[in-house]
Amino acid sequence: MSHRLFVAIRPSEQAMDAMFDVMDCIEDARWQDETQLHLTLRYIGEVDTPQANDIADALSRIEMPAFDLELRGLGHFSRSHWPHAVWSGVAHSPELLTLQKKVERAVVSAGCEPETRRFLPHVTLARLNRSSGPIGDWMARFGDFHAAPMPVDSFILYESTLTNSGSQYDPIVRFELGKNTNLK
């Protein structure tokens, strides 16, 4: 059986509330719902069940303390000069970069190819298409977005299923931070 996997941090309820407050004013945007909001640490893609189990096992060995993370700023991704997604950025966090590197090493140790794309931490807020309205007014109105720092005490291995109404993300395994970490 094949599984389409990724590793991500689920935002806190308070951070999600702040993101929901800016989800407005772009015509025909497909805004993400609470089950879809996440900060991807590593997209894995299609793997079979034995490799999925190896990935989960490797991720379970990650040790580091919990930390706080702040969502700040907005941006967009474009293809052929057309915006296709808008997102919330993340304030610089050495702890997040450390976690992302540990996740990358774990996934590679489980037999996946190394990621070649640069890590750009963000939470996708909406998907856009050519019929979506312009984003300039939205960026001007909400561009100074920030959410209160949120605790990051775990990360999750998700399975993604493509449906007619978009992707469905199901948490498979949650990995706690700080569980075995010596905090001296």
Going from N- to C-terminal start, the domains of the chain cover 2-176
| Active-site annotation holds for 38 | yes
- For residue 45, which amino acid is it? G
Q: From the candidates 3, 38, 84, 92, give the one annotated as an active-site residue.
A: 38
Residue ranges in the chain modelled with pLDDT below 50: 181-184
Q: What is the pLDDT of residue 154?
A: 97
Q: From the candidates 3, 81, 84, 122, give the one annotated as an active-site residue.
A: 122
CA distance linking residue 63 with residue 65, whole number of Å:
7
CA distance linking residue 38 with residue 154, whole number of Å:
12
What's the CATH code, domain 2-176? 3.90.1140.10
In sequence order, the 6+-apart residues with CB closer than 8 A to the CB of 6 are 40, 42, 43, 44, 157, 158, 160
Token readout for 133 is: 């309205």
Instruction: Tell me what the pLDDT averaged over the chain comes to.
Output: 94
Report the predicted TM-score, pTM, of the whole model to 2 decimal places: 0.93
Percent of the chain with pLDDT over 70: 97
Q: Is the sign of the CA dihedral 6, 10, 15, 20 positive or negative?
A: positive
Q: What is the pLDDT of residue 184?
A: 38
| Active-site annotation holds for 81 | no
